[in-house]
Amino acid sequence: MLFNFCNNSEGVFNSAYRMQLLAAASVTIITFCNGIGIGWCAPMLAKLQSPIDSPLDFTATVQQTSWIGSLVCVGGITGNVLFGVLLDRIGRKACIYLLAIPHMCFWILVYFAPSIEYLYAARFASGITGGGTWVVIPIFISEIADPTIRGRLTSLFTLFLNGGMLTGYTLSSYVPYHIIPMAVILLPLLYLIIETYFPETPSYLLHCGKEEEAEKSLKFYLNYRDPNKLEVEQFNIKYAELKSAVKQQKSQSDAVTLRDFFTKRALRALTIANTVILINIVTGSFTLLSYMSTIFVAVKTDIHPDTNTVIIGVVQILGAYIAIILVDRFGRKVLLMISTASTGICLAAFGTYAFFVEETSVDLTPYRSWLPLVLMALIILTANVGIIPVPAVVIVEILPPKIRAKGVSFCVTLLSFFAFVMLKVFPPCMEAFGLATTVWGFAVFSALGLLYIAIFVPETKGRSMNVDED
C-alpha cells in the first residue's frame, strides 16, 4: 500500500523524485549539525556566567557572553563570502564537503577550551558553517529539484535547522559538557560519508563542459531506470532544455562582472531579495530566540528556562513542517503575507502583556505561568511558517541565473550583518525603552513588511531556474 502510494503520489514521495528527496535530506544533515551548535549555546551561556554551574575552569562576564552570542554572525558573514566565491569555482559538491570542516573545528575547540578565547573561536567557526549553508544548500537543492517540489525540498533547510536547535537545547540542558562534543562530532563525519553517494548537479557539470557526467547526473536525480519510449523522449527534452539554458548563460559570458549586478532585472531582484531578508530580521523572531531567557525573566514568567526553551524548540519544528506542506501548495508570496501578518499580531499581543508587567500594577499571577509562553510560542510558530524559511527559497528563485551564486552570497551576507546588528542593539533598546516598546517596534516592522510583500514581491512558485524571467 505504502509503495503504491509513493509511486502514485504527486508530491515529494513520487518515485521520480526519490533521489531528489534523498539528496536534499542528506545535504541538510549539516544544517541539523549547525542547529545543534546554535541550540547548545543558548542554555550554555547562562551556565558559563555562574561560578557554581560553569562546566569549565572559568566563568564568563555578561560582556564576554554577548560576544560568544554575536560572533556566530561574524563567522556567518565570513562563510557567506567564502562559499559565495568558491561555489562557482570548485563546484557545489566540493563546497558541500567543506561545510563540515569548520563545524568539526567548533566541537574540538569547545571540548578543549581552556579559556574564553577558545569559545570565541568556536562560535566563529560555527558561524562559517552556518553562513556557508545559507549559500550552498539552497542553490544545490534548487538545481537538482523539480519545480513542483522545489519549495518543499528547500524548506527542509529550516526544518533540519530547527530540529538541530531543539537537540542542542536538550543536550546542553541535560547532558554533561564534555560528552556532547564527543557524541555530536560523529554526525558531520556521517554526513561526509553519505554525500559521496550523490553526484554534482547537472547544471554545474554542463557549465564545466562535462556533458556525459551531466547526463548521468540528471538521470540519477530523475531516478531514470528501465524507461519506456515515452520516458526516454521526456528525458531527452529535459536534457536538451537544460543544455540550451546553460549554453545561453555561458554565451553571455563565463565571468560575472560588476555590470551584471546593475542591470534592471538584477537590481530589481536584488532589491526584493534583500528587503525580504531585512523583513525576516526586523520582525524579531531570531532576536527573540537568542534572548529568550532574558525576555521571560523580564515578563516574570514562572516557567523554568530549560523547559521553556525546549517547548519553543518543538514549536519551531512544527512551524517549519507546516511551511514544507504549504510552500508549494499556496506559493511563496501568500505564505509570506500570512506569516508576516500573524507574527505582527502576536508580537503586538506579547508587547501588550509586557506593558502590563512593566508599567502597571495589574495582578497577572493567574496568567504568568502560561500566557507569556503561549504568546511567544505563537510568534515563533507563525514566523517559522513563512518569514523564516521562505526567504531562502525566494532569493534563489528570483535572482537571475548568471549572478545567482554570488547574488545569494551577497544576500545572506547582509542577513548575517542585519542579525549581528539586531543582536547588539536589542539589549540596549530593551533597557532604554522597555521590552514592551521594543516588541511593539517589531510589530510595526511586521506591518510595514506585509505592505511591501503585498505590493512588490512577485510569486516565484514554479519559476524556471535556468531562464531569466521578468
* Predicted confidence (pLDDT) per residue in 258-278, tens digit: 888 888 988 999 999 999 999
- 209: amino acid identity, one letter: G
Instruction: Give one DSSP letter per residue of 323-374, joined into a string.
Output: HHHHHHHH-HHHHHHHHHHHHHHHHHHHHHHHHHHHH-----TTTTTTHHHH
Asked if 33 and 180 sit in the same domain, the reply is: yes
Asked if 273 and 209 sit in the same domain, the reply is: no
Percent of the chain's residues with pLDDT above 70 = 92
Q: What is the reported pLDDT for 2?
A: 34
pLDDT in tens, 274-332: 999 999 999 988 888 877 777 887 888 877 766 777 788 888 888 888 887 887 778 88
Q: Which three cell numbers stand for residue 290?
A: 537568542
The domain boundary, picked from 234, 254, 274, lies at: 254
Asked if 308 and 328 sit in the same domain, the reply is: yes
Q: What is the reported pLDDT for 251?
A: 62
Q: What is the reported pLDDT for 470?
A: 52
Q: What is the C-alpha to C-alpha distance for residues 111 and 209, in angstroms, rounded to an integer?
A: 45
Give the model's confidence band at 195: pLDDT under 50 very low, under 70 low, under 90 confident, else very high.
very high
Q: How far is CA 427 from the centre of its chain?
A: 24
pTM for this one? 0.77
Here the CATH number for the domain that contains residue 111 is: 1.20.1250.20
* CB 391 within 8 Å of CB 276: yes
Asked if 240 and 313 sit in the same domain, the reply is: no
Find the domain containing 245 and state its range: 12-254
Asked if 223 and 323 sit in the same domain, the reply is: no
Q: What is the C-alpha to C-alpha distance for residues 230 and 190, in angstroms, rounded to an integer?
A: 39
Compare 419 and 188 and report the one with higher pLDDT: 188
Q: What is the reported pLDDT for 1?
A: 37
The domain boundary, picked from 220, 254, 288, lies at: 254
Q: Which run of H or E residues covers position 65?
A: helix 62-90
Residue 1 within a domain: no
The domain boundary, picked from 227, 254, 281, lies at: 254
Q: What is the reported pLDDT for 466?
A: 59
Q: What is the C-alpha to C-alpha distance for residues 362 and 364, in angstroms, rounded to an integer?
A: 6
* CB 292 within 8 Å of CB 373: no
Q: Which three cell numbers stand for residue 445?
A: 516592522
